[in-house]
Amino acid sequence: MADPKTNRAALRVVEEEIERLRVQAARLRAALNLPTDEEAGDQALSVLESVTEHAIVTTDLDGRIIGWNSGAVNNLGWSEAEALGRDAATLFFTPEDIANHRPEHEMTLAREMGHVSDERWHVNKNGRFYAQGQMTPLLDRQGAHVGYVKVFRDRTGQRMAEDAAQAAVDELRQMTDALPILIAVVGADHRYRFANRHYETWFGVPHDRIVGLHLRDLVGEEAYRDRLPQIERALAGELVDYDGYLPDKDGNRRDCNILYIPRRTAEGGVDGFYVQVVDITDRMRAAEQARRADERIHLALEAGAVHGTWVWDVVEDRFTADARFARTFSLDPAAMERGVPLAEVVKSIDPTDEPGVRAKIAAALAQGGRYRAEYRVRQLDGSYLWVEANGHVITDADGKALRFPGVLVNIEQRKVAELYQNALLDLGDRLRALDEAADVAFASAEIVGTTMASLRAGYAVADPERCSVVVERDWRADPDIPSVVGPHSFADYGTYFADLLRGEVVAITDVTRDPRTATDCRKLLALSIRSLLNVPLLDEGRLSGVFFLHYDKPYAWTEEEIAFARGVTDRTWAAMTKAAADKALHQLNDTLEQRVEAAVAERDRLWQTSRDLLVVIDREGHFKAVNPAWVREFGHAEADMTGARVADFVHPDDRGVFQRLDEHLKGLNAAMEVRMRLRDGSYRLVDWIVAAMEDGWYATGRDVTEQRRVEEQLRQSQKMEAVGQLTGGMAHDFNNLLQAMSGCLQLIGRRAGHVAGVEKILDSGRQAVDRGASMIRQLMAFSRRQSLQPEIFDVRDRLLGMRSFLDRALRADIQLEFDLQAGLWAVTADPVQFELAVLNLATNARDAIPTDGRVVIGAGNVELDGDEGLSGSFVEVWVRDSGRGIAPEALHRVFEPFFTTKPMGKGTGLGLAQVYGFCRQSGGNATVESVEGRGTTVALLLPCAKEGATARELPRRAVTAGGDARVLLVEDDPVVAPVIMAALEDLGYRVIRAASGEEALDRLKRGEAVDLLFTDVVMPGEIDGVALARAARRLLPGLAVVLTTGYSEDRAGLDGLPVLPKPYRIEDLAAVIKAELERAGVAGTDTP
């Protein structure tokens, strides 16, 4: 802490100076007949005092309060009289902060860093309140540190509302997380606003990623599209309850009951909907299983699986059966109900099967018990049906058969399936012995034709482009049946070729009735084809062949027959493909040795010529083999490396990577970056891909040193860009403050500048404003928001013209030299900013040289091809010094705003930031190289001049008196607006003020008389200055308009309107407004 005596002395000096100024101000007011302090007050102080929402407290170096504004009274409760002289720490800091030495810590940070911000609880007269604040040092006119300024604002209400809202959210989450269902809130933009923990379990997505995620991105495109109609109904205000599905984290569809409840606002609108999802998969699966069981029972009893029941009275030889049994045996149902002898029933059994059936009946009668027999039964149409009879013989006590009940089951499909299965097995045996595709095709045709008792079968090679096929060989049931060997055009046989091209099976029951063949079936009938089945063979989606079956009579193809034919076709195609592959393999084996030799030669060429590092490592970590790239790229001889330890060539800090390769190879290979030693002892970064082998590892490495350097430059560039955007935004607010201070000083000068002693004080104030404006321009140049005035200029002439100026900037013990390449190209840049940049670098070089040093300024032409992220022709200007150099850990930060390596108070940290911003905004770049103890080189890259790059500077105008014109001033800043109003009124204008673009436009629409619109560009609300100017010109086409801005906006984007950059002087304001009024033809712009 500072000495109390020193603080009291400083305070007395400040109080005496304030009193002296008050006396002078009173004399000036009396001389000028101005209002007194009690009536008007000092305008600058009133601006500060008008800030009632912010508490502004000033203290001396010991933390005792010496200033207390009305905002402090409002926020803290103590009056100015109660607060002045008290210790700020004990007055409004909490006991916890005092115990943790927070007040002293804040003052230390404010003193060392220039400012410190905080947001925490404070103490006021009524208890505690939550505030957001900032502390900065308090300086006197000479820049000496005499105290602190603390500014803060009450945010207790917001903090309590945030805490309450968070508590409600936490309670809601605890409740919904406990439920075993999915609960969420979705906004009108289809993004999740809330989701319970069950969502994370269901989708496998971390909970914090779900909130804000779009529905489509979580449930998937298909599920989102399917539920979009229900979502739209919910957003229309309808409660939606439906059964659907939802994919889980494994991609499985789960059956769900989904409920959407509209989320209504206080006004009754819908801004989203609540979601409730219940998994009903198990319930649906149980219901489906019950339904299928019922279906199987129904099919067995009603759809024909059971074909009847019987009871045979053995003693009376009376055989009775139900109607289904009678229909199966082609017998009269009424007679079967009365009963007939067994011999009448047996007549319907296939004669081939009858002896076996009689033998089984006799055995059952003799032994009693179970009976089972399979046989064919004649149907009314003359065909036979396979059935299975199951019965049980009931005997008396002596074993004599009395009754023989049973049930009849249809096994036709099973028998057909067995027939087809046996045929397929036979086909497999036949095909294994064949090695020619044509023989395979004929064997398949023969087996299918025999099994299905067809007229003809075969395989045809298809030509899709010509819509034709060629049959090389066909199977026929009888030699007298016509053969179809040869070419055929499908156009001659119907219109079904398109179906085959699509891969569809063509099954025609009767060619004379099917619309695809009935129009002209003469050629089919001539070949005895009345019914046909064509199965397509596709190779990668292209029709390559057709397997065909023919009958000479109408035939209804069953699904089982089609499936059998397709199965044969698939096996045939596989066998034909295998036969072709075997033939190709035999041919391949003939040339395999030559191919192996060629592959080995190719591998050796790759090993010898590859620019990548190739290496084989044994399990002990020794090199087994290395390729020549090690010699070309790293300088190591193959003999020096073979058998050597890998670790000996690895940077000591990276050796652990290679020592346990097994741990890195969790899969088949692993990637790692390791620094490898060159023959000269330097290191290069190598990106390795390592693959495990049985007895070691195989690795491929690529030198990525330069690539990583470029990537680091890119990251640094992006970082500087982000910092630039931040500083650019800060500059706008500071320009507004500077404008207010500058305007106040100028108004005082215009009103009382002639009074003795005032002009000197005003000059000090103007110098402070100018220094602030200069710093803001440097910030805006760094952020690339400062509007440059580019010109084509000669770098050599410009640098040599600065010689005398630079000599004065450097010390006498520093030698200045120039190293300028002959034939330097001209550049396009702002010459003023260029000279400022060179001067910054020269003064930095001067400060870095303790005694007796040298500064060299050089320039040369360079062509860049992607270096530093630039391409094209550039001029490089560098400043090299022999000073202390910069530490490596600070080198990457030198272009950051407010970062400096100079002692406290010796630099702002904006010089190199301005240089960097100027170069980037000019289309170039800035780089720095430094070695501690040897010096630093900073290089500027500026683009070579192009045709047409010119710039225009507006001449400075002298002070011009205004007239009685009506000016509409649009300024949202409450500090700036009163100052500008006073300046315009001093110039003689009648001023109307609006605080926003909306208010100003409303005044113009109401017809308020205005001669000139003077508006800020950047304002809150939907209408900024440019939009206001355009709207005003549409209402009043001849209206004079002047814009002003704290940003240095691109004037091309401001419709060619005159723009005053803040801070500006009153004489510039007067001249611009007068010129614009004259351009608009407004009379009365001059005053006598």
Q: From CA 853, how far away is CA 847, in angstroms rounded?
A: 11
Q: From CA 587, how far away is CA 599, in angstroms rounded?
A: 18
Burial 31-52 (b: 16+ CB within 10 A, else e): eeeeeeeeeeeeebeebeeebe
More confident site: 20 or 437: 437
Q: Which tokens sit at 904?
A: 């406290």
* Residue 190 DSSP label: S
Least trusted range by pLDDT, from 18-27, 142-151, 193-202, 621-630: 18-27
The one-letter amino acid at 580: A
Three-state SS sequence of 338-391 = HCECHHHHHCCECCCCHHHHHHHHHHHHHHCEEEEEEEEEECCCCCEEEEEEEE
What is the reported pLDDT for 185?
A: 93
**Given 3-state DSSP classes, what are the helix, strand and coil percentages for the chain, each rounded to the nearest 5?**
45, 25, 30
Q: Which residue has the tokens 């502004």?
A: 56
Q: Which tokens sit at 148?
A: 């602190």
Per residue in 486-529, pLDDT (tens digit) is 999 988 898 898 899 998 999 999 999 999 999 889 999 999 99
What is the reported pLDDT for 910?
A: 66
Shared fold status for 416-583 and 713-943: no
Helix (H, G, I), strand (E, B) or coil at 249: coil
CATH number corresponding to 713-943: 3.30.565.10
The one-letter amino acid at 1054: L
Q: Is 665 exposed, middle or buried (0-12, 13-18, 19+ CB in 10 A)?
A: middle
Helix (H, G, I), strand (E, B) or coil at 1047: coil
* Other CB atoms within 10 Å distance of the CB of residue 222: 12
Task: Give me the long-range contacts of 159-163 (CB less than 8 A, separation at least 24).
Answer: 159/130, 160/130
Mean pLDDT score of the chain: 82
* CATH number, domain 416-583, options 3.40.50.1980, 3.30.450.40, 1.25.40.10, 3.10.20.600: 3.30.450.40
Task: Give me the long-range contacts of 643-652 (CB less than 8 A, separation at least 24).
Answer: 645/621, 646/617, 646/621, 646/622, 647/621, 649/676, 649/677, 650/674, 650/675, 650/676, 650/677, 651/675, 651/676, 651/677, 651/683
CATH number corresponding to 4-154: 3.30.450.20
What would the mean pLDDT of 736-757 be, rounded to a whole number? 70
What would the mean pLDDT of 544-555 be, rounded to a whole number? 92
The number of residues in the chain equals: 1088
DSSP run (H or E) holding 10: helix 4-32
Q: From CA 859, how far away is CA 824, in angstroms rounded?
A: 8
Every domain of the chain and the residues it spans: 4-154, 161-284, 329-410, 416-583, 610-703, 713-943, 966-1080
Q: How far is CA 679 from CA 309, 640, 659, 676, in A?
A: 98, 10, 22, 10
39: pLDDT strictly greater than 70: no
What would the mean pLDDT of 676-705 be, rounded to a whole number? 85
More confident site: 411 or 780: 411
State phi, psi for 686 to the nearest 5 degrees. -120, 130
Per residue in 788-804, pLDDT (tens digit) is 678 889 999 889 888 87
What would the mean pLDDT of 412-418 be, rounded to a whole number? 82
CATH number corresponding to 329-410: 3.30.450.20
Per residue in 560-616, pLDDT (tens digit) is 888 888 888 888 888 887 777 777 677 666 666 677 677 777 777 878 878 888 888
The one-letter amino acid at 149: V
Confidence at 781, pLDDT banded by 50, 70, 90: low
169: pLDDT strictly greater than 80: no
What is the reported pLDDT for 728?
A: 59
- Angle made by CA atoms 528, 534, 539, in degrees to the nearest 5: 145
Superfamily classification of domain 161-284: PAS domain (3.30.450.20)
Confidence at 46, pLDDT banded by 50, 70, 90: low
868: pLDDT strictly greater than 90: no
Confidence at 184, pLDDT banded by 50, 70, 90: very high
What is the reported pLDDT for 1087?
A: 39
Burial 272-286 (b: 16+ CB within 10 A, else e): bbbbbbebbeeebee
1002: pLDDT strictly greater than 70: yes
Least trusted range by pLDDT, from 201-215, 457-471, 752-766: 752-766
855 touches 847 (CB < 8 A): no
Three-state SS sequence of 695-727 = CEEEEEEEECHHHHHHHHHHHHHHHHHHHHHHH
The one-letter amino acid at 203: F
What is the reported pLDDT for 51?
A: 59
Q: From CA 565, how far away is CA 576, in angstroms rounded?
A: 16
Least trusted range by pLDDT, from 236-250, 341-355, 678-692: 678-692
Inter-helix orientation angle 412-432/559-609, to 10°: 40
The one-letter amino acid at 913: A
Q: From CA 159, how far away is CA 167, in angstroms rounded?
A: 12
Helix (H, G, I), strand (E, B) or coil at 120: strand
Per residue in 1071-1085, pLDDT (tens digit) is 899 988 988 887 555
Could you confirm whether domain 966-1080 is CATH 3.40.50.2300? yes
What would the mean pLDDT of 899-920 be, rounded to a whole number? 71
CATH number corresponding to 610-703: 3.30.450.20
